[in-house]
Amino acid sequence: MKNNKIILQACLFQGWHYFILGLVIPVLVLFQLERGLSLIQIGLNMALYGGIVIVLEIPSGILADILGQKKVYIFSIFLKITAMAIPVFTGNLLFISISFIIMGAGRAFSSGSLEAIFINKVSESKNARDMEKLITWTQIFIPLGLALGALLGGWLPDLNVDKILFISLLDKYSLNFLVIATLGIILAIFFLIFVKDEVLLKTNNGKNSTEHKSKGMVSLAFGTIKNSPVFLVMIVYSLAWGLAFSGLETFWQPRLFEITGGEGGTFIYGLLANGYFLAGVLGSIISWPLCRLLGNKPLVFLFFQRFLLGMMFFIISGIFKIGWFSAVYIVLFLFNGIGNPVEQSILNKEIPSASRATLLSVISFIMQAGGMTGSLIWGFISQNYGIGFTWKIGSVILIISSFPYLWAYKKKKNSKNNSQLTVKE
């Protein structure tokens, strides 16, 4: 019963968090164009955002484990509120760039800390099914929150509101940022009231200085990475996923424009954008049932899921018909969603509660680094060899990165057999 309450809290708060994030997605570029920024300046702002996330990703995770995930998450909300409030009042390039820097910091400090709070609480019960249930349901609520937020975020500018109470809005997009800041304040208040503080790291020798805790945290984290074949595989795949999906997410719209020739308006873009969120939800729902149906060997299941996901990249790279492209695009994200709950469940079973935020931040850092690396190289390759060639390379990367799962499975199996022999002796 206690864990059911925690799972409900996790779903509601993570869904709320990503709903707020979804509100900015449809207007993140459009509002900058409205304020007179050039494409180069917009690209610079996006680079500032991505760069600050990468720089702060791991340090923020360490701080969350030392100072408390709840405190760090509340701080991240404060940063996001500040970042969203700036565009409400100014269109100045410098201040907008500062907003993106603060937004990136907020993203880094929330990464790992939010999910670690609830995972740590559920992991105390030692019930594996409760962990799977938590991961599965949060993986459903996260894309649902994003989809609903994006839907509302695309509708708010059409209201053409120019003033709310005593606040005059600079343009139609300012309403999005005002709503985000308001919902962020409410989220912080509810989080402070309803989510209990977690137990902080205590060192074995009683030394509780931040410096000593930090060294202990890094040591514990690296020990986990070194001794866990599952975690090592997740690092490899996170890098591969970031590389491959940065090419897909960057160029699916230009490829769709090539296919349609710009005809048919923007409806199909919105349909596919919401479609892949919903496909991810469906994938999360069937993930564990499908894994159990196919033998309940999570690492073997993930090998096949990752391998087939890579094949989907190869298939979509050669499609030039709107109907087939749309269908394969949705199925691709269905396959992506199928792997998430299983992956997150077995990953979090490998992570000590004391260093959970740190290690989740390591995974996020690797994924972000892969995505940024992809952003630097895919543009050149797509420009010179075509978008399809970029996706074919992504296909090869994903397929190659699927094979280490079989290695991890054999390592875990051998370790288990050795343990059983030791007990018998």
Q: How far apart are CA 97 and CA 91, in angstroms?
A: 10
Helix (H), strand (E) at residue 236: helix 229-260
Neighbours of 2 (CB within 10 A): 11
Give the model's pLDDT for residue 147.
85
What would you report as the CA-atom Rg of the chain, rounded to the nearest whole angstrom?
Answer: 22
Buried/exposed code over 340-373 (b: 16+ C-beta within 10 A; e: otherwise): bbbbbbbbbebbbbbbbbbbbbbbbbbbbbbbbe
Give the model's pLDDT for residue 206.
47
Tens of pLDDT, residue by residue, the chain (425 residues): 578 889 999 999 999 999 999 888 878 877 888 888 887 788 788 888 888 998 998 898 888 888 889 999 999 999 999 999 998 888 888 999 999 999 999 999 998 788 888 988 888 776 768 888 999 899 899 989 988 888 888 888 877 776 665 666 677 888 889 899 999 999 999 999 999 866 555 544 445 555 545 555 666 667 777 778 888 999 999 999 999 998 898 788 788 888 888 676 556 776 787 788 889 889 999 999 999 998 989 999 999 999 999 999 999 999 999 899 999 999 999 999 999 999 999 888 888 877 888 888 889 899 988 988 887 788 888 888 989 999 999 999 999 999 999 999 998 887 766 555 454 45
Q: In 3D, which of 372, 371, 370 has the Cα closest to residue 239?
A: 370
For the entire predicted model, the pTM comes to 0.80
Contact in structure between 187 and 77 (CB atoms under 8 Å): yes
Q: In 3D, which of 110, 50, 58, 59 has the Cα closest to residue 81?
A: 110
Q: In 3D, which of 22, 393, 394 has the Cα closest to residue 242?
A: 394
Domains recognised in the chain with CATH numbers: 1-198 (1.20.1250.20), 217-425 (1.20.1250.20)
Helix (H), strand (E) at residue 168: strand 167-168
Distances in Å between the Cα of 34 and the Cα atoms of 42, 53, 125, 267 are 11, 25, 51, 21
Give the model's pLDDT for residue 203.
46
Give the model's pLDDT for residue 205.
47
Give the model's pLDDT for residue 152.
86
Give the model's pLDDT for residue 423.
44
Give the model's pLDDT for residue 221.
67
Which residue's entry shows tokens 């707020």? 20
Q: How far apart are CA 135 and CA 115, in angstroms?
A: 9
> Looking at residue 199, what DSSP letter applies?
P
Contact in structure between 310 and 396 (CB atoms under 8 Å): yes
Contact in structure between 1 and 122 (CB atoms under 8 Å): no
> Looking at residue 265, what DSSP letter applies?
T
Q: Which two tokens stand for residue 213?
A: 């805790």
Q: How far apart are CA 253 and CA 356, in angstroms?
A: 36
Q: How far apart are CA 139 and CA 149, in angstroms?
A: 16
Q: Following DSSP, what letter does each residue of 331-343 receive, concatenated?
A: HHHHHHHHHHHHH
Q: How far apart are CA 324 and CA 386, in angstroms?
A: 19
